[in-house]
Structure formats: C-alpha cells, structure tokens
Structure 1
Amino acid sequence: MIEPDFLRTTRTAYDAVAGLYAELFANALEDHPLDRAMLIAFADLVRANGGGPVADLGCGPGHVTALLHSFGLDASGVDLSSEMIAIARAAHPELRFEVGSMTALDLTDGSLGGALARYSIIHTPPEQLPQVCAEFHRVLAPGGHLLLAFQAHDDPSELAKSFDHKVALAYRWSPDRVAALLNETGFTETARLRQVAPPDAERDFPQAHLLVTKV
C-alpha cells in the first residue's frame, strides 16, 4: 500500500523537531485547568465503563499518556514519528509506545475502552477525516469513549480551514461539522468544550474538545 504524502511529510517534520517539541510541551497542561478537567472526565468515564486499554493517538513525547496512566488508566501511546516514540519510551519506560498512523491503527477491533486524539487530527486532510473517524470507531469497544481536541473555527459551512502551523500543514475544524461526522460514524456526543484564545495567545484561535461515546 502506498503511503499518503501527508503522512510522510508530517512524520519528517515532527522527526526533525521532536527534541525541541518535547522540551517546550513537557509541562503544557499545568496552566490549562480546563484541558486537564476534560482529561479527568474522560478517565472517569472510561473507568466507569469497566476500564479497558486506552490509546493516546498522536501521543508525541508521551507526557499526556503518562498523565492518563497517573489517572489509573491502562494507557499506551501511538505516534507517526519514530523520533517522538523514542523520546516517549526513554522518558516513560513503564509504558507502551508504538509507531503508527491513525489512518490504519495496528489494533484489534473493539479492543479499547478509550481513545484520545489531542491535537493530532489537525494534520489530517479533510478528505481523510472520515477514514480516521472510522478507525476510532473500529478500535473502540461498545460504550468506549473518544476525546478529541483541536484548534477550531466557528463557520459551520466549512469543515476545515488551513492555518500556518509551525511544524506541518494543519487544519482548524468546525466543532459542529466534526460532531456531525462522528455521529454519522456511530458515536454519540457526551460533552463539548469551547475555549476562546487568551489575549496573549500567539494565534487568536478558539480550541475545542469533543467527548463522544461509541454507540
């Protein structure tokens, strides 16, 4: 199977900045209580549904994977970048990290109690997003929970708008349109969080979290 160009370019870009990225975002959640609150709610829901493995998809250097583990989840990480995975394995040797793509996950059908894709769908071309959502649905058990986070825009007439991400081509998503796509894929929405950009933010983009459950 021929690998799509966007996967090769995204992997190469993140391989090149993996060390710097790990340093910059090592403590990124300390000043974001609402982000942490969504992760805590996600963890609580997964445990209430019987637990089960949780995959951090697009895990980068693994700091959020480790946080999920600290919440009592059987968490592992998957990332496109082998350099990111090497950093994650070195920093968190007690956890499992594998190289992989959200377009074709090396996971058994219905094997996960939860999946997190935190700012990792942003490099997915809009035409590929239905395939990625279908993969999320495939690997989750019935009643499993999925938490997405992404840069957002407020124009429901467009699914995605590209923006000048510093690492690789990226897209902001319409929360309404993404929620509708997830619904069509077989999820039901549980909760949604929209955060406005703070006044000192580098880009005036809102951020969105969508928490959905596999029907």
Structure 2
Amino acid sequence: MTDPSSHLSRTADAYDAMAVPYAAIDRTDLNGPSLDGAFLAAFADRIRSTGGGPVAELGCGPGPVTARLRDLGLDAYGVDLSPVMIDLARKTYPDLRFEVGSMDALELAAGGTAGIVSWYSVIHVPPRELPPYFAEFRRVLAPGGTLLLAFFESEGDPVTVFDHRVTPAYRWPIDELARLAADAGFTEIGRMLREPYEGERYRRGHLLMRSGPAAPVTV
C-alpha cells in the first residue's frame, strides 16, 4: 500500500483533483512542426531503426502523448499514478492500453520494453528519490532500449522546486539530470533545450538516451 504521506500519494491525489481541467490543455503542437513534436518523432525513428517493440509512456496523464506515439507508428501504451487520469485516457483513446501504476515499481518484465517516454513526469520526484526511478527504467528496457525525458530546465540554477499548476515540481540542470541517468547505466544520444513559448514560464529540456554503454564507433 502506498504511504498516504509520500510524494506518490500526494501527486496522485493532486492529479485526480485536477484531471478534467488538465486534460483540456491544448497539446496540438505535438502533432505539428514543433520542436517538442520533432523530438518525439526522433524517438519514434530510433525505436523503429532498432527493431521496434512495445513503448511505455510513464506518467501518461490523459493520454495525448501516448496517442501521438501510436500515430508515429509505435506499439505504445500508458501508465499513470492517477486513476482519474487513466479513466479519462481510456475514454478518450479506447483503442489504446492504459494502466494505473508507479514509475518506480513497474509491473513489467525485465528487458521487455523497447522504449520509455517520461514526458514531464519525473519532475514531481524529489531529487534524492530519483535514482531508483532510473534504475527501474533500466531494468525494464531491452539492451540498447531508448529513454526520452522531457522536463523543465533550471536555466543555470541548481535543482529548483517550483509551483507547478497541479503539485510542486522540480526544475533540473540538464547536465545534472543526464549525469543521474548515466549513473543508472544510460548513454546520452542527444539533447534539446528550447526557450519558453508565449505563456510558458521556463525553458524546456529534452534528453534522448540509450540503455547500456555507448555503441562502438565503426570507421
């Protein structure tokens, strides 16, 4: 049973309470020629180029990113802490699979997942508690599997807590988040930083990583 005082319970309860207005946020930019959409497409290209397989969006919310991954040709499904979010996702995208679950204790076989997308979901994990999440991602990914992280970047500051619209979250220096993932056995493939769009407060960071050491260089 989840400790009601833990950040997991607080996050799930907060997203349950805000699920309907949160689901109404416009995310059509993911489907067009946006930088965020381009990074999702790059993730999809890598999954296809490495043989395909199931892809998990962890912290899927009401499901638009999972649906976009499906539209990009991937065998995608979603996992989220919030039962209300999962209910909304199932109603909105009845052809896709969505399950209630926690990113740090996935009910998935070791090495059976081709890719993981964490789209602004690890932002709610207290910094000291984040390494086990990366270890769990590494456990379920196949050798050479792909991890995509999207997060709020701290713009030169240390890890910084901020007043996210749903529940407190953390902004990360991109180098620090990449280092934590590397400590868990991931190798960076690429990164992107973009400045805030109109109406956004903070710079956005994206990291594309593979499970395992860097591939050998061939000449």
TM-score, length basis structure 1: 0.93
Name the CA distance, whole Å, in 1 between partners of 2:148 and 2:59. Answer: 12
Summarize deviations over 1:128-148 as a string: whole Å, max 9, x none. Answer: 110111111111000100000
- List structure 1 segments (4+ residues) > 4 angstroms apart after TM superposition: none
Deviation at 1:106, TM superposition (A): 1.1
2-side partners of 1:11 and 1:28: how far apart? 26
3-state SS of 2:131 partner: helix
State the identity as a percent: 51
Equivalent residue for 1:207?
204
Q: In structure 1, how many angstroms separate the alpha carbons of the residues matched to 2:145 and 2:90? A: 26
Query: What root-mean-square deviation, in Å, do the aligned CA atoms of Structure 1 and Structure 2 show?
Result: 1.5
- Cα offset for 1:201? 2.9
In the alignment, what sits opposite 1:49? Answer: 50
Alignment partners' CA distance in 1, 2:104 and 2:92: 26
The code of the aligned residue for 2:208 comes to L
Alpha-carbon shift at residue 94 of structure 1 (Å)? 1.0
Change (3 A) 1:63 1:23: same
C-alpha deviations, 1:95-122, integer Å up to 9, x for none?
A: 1100011111111111110000000011
Residues paired across the two proteins, number: 211
Q: What is the rounded CA distance, in whole Å, between the counterparts of 1:164 and 1:137 in structure 2?
A: 30
Tell me the SS of whatever aligns to 2:156. coil
Residue 11 of structure 2 is matched in structure 1 by: 10
Instruction: Report the Cα distance in structure 2 between the residues aligned to 1:151 and 1:142, rounded to whole angstroms.
Output: 28
How is 1:74-93 mapped onto 2 (pairs within 5 angstroms)?
74-93=75-94
Counterpart residue type for residue 91 of structure 2: A
> Structure 2: which 5+ residue stretches go unaligned?
213-219
Deviates more, 1:65-74 or 1:16-25: 16-25
Greater shift, 18-27 or 79-88, is seen at: 18-27
Q: How far 1:24 moved relative to its partner?
A: 1.4
Q: What is the deviation of 1:207?
A: 0.5
Partner of 2:180: 181
1:29 Cα deviation from its structure 2 partner:
2.5
Distance 1:60 1:30 in 2: 17
Paired position in structure 1 for 2:143? 142
> Cα distance, 1:28 vs. partner?
4.9
CA-to-partner distance for each residue in 1:163-210, whole Å, 9 max, x for gaps? 011210100011101111111111100000001123x3342x111000
Q: After superposition, what is the alpha-carbon deviation per residue over 1:14-41, rounded to whole angstroms, capped at 9, x for unaligned?
A: 0011111111145352567000000000
In structure 2, relative to structure 1, the CA distance for the partners of 1:180 and 1:84 (3 Å cut) is same
Supply the distance in 2 between the matched residues of 1:79 and 1:65 (Cα, whole angstroms).
Answer: 11
Q: Which amino acid aligns with 1:117?
A: S
- Report the equivalent of 1:109: 110
- Alpha-carbon distance in structure 2 between the residues aligned to 1:116 and 1:128: 19
- Structure 1 residues 73, 136: closer, same or farther in 2, change over 3 A? same
Task: Give the SS at the match of 1:24.
Answer: coil
The normalised TM-score by structure 2 is: 0.92
- In 2, Cα distance between equivalents of 1:28 and 1:36: 7
In structure 1, runs of 5+ residues without a counterpart are none
1:165 matched to which residue of 2? 164
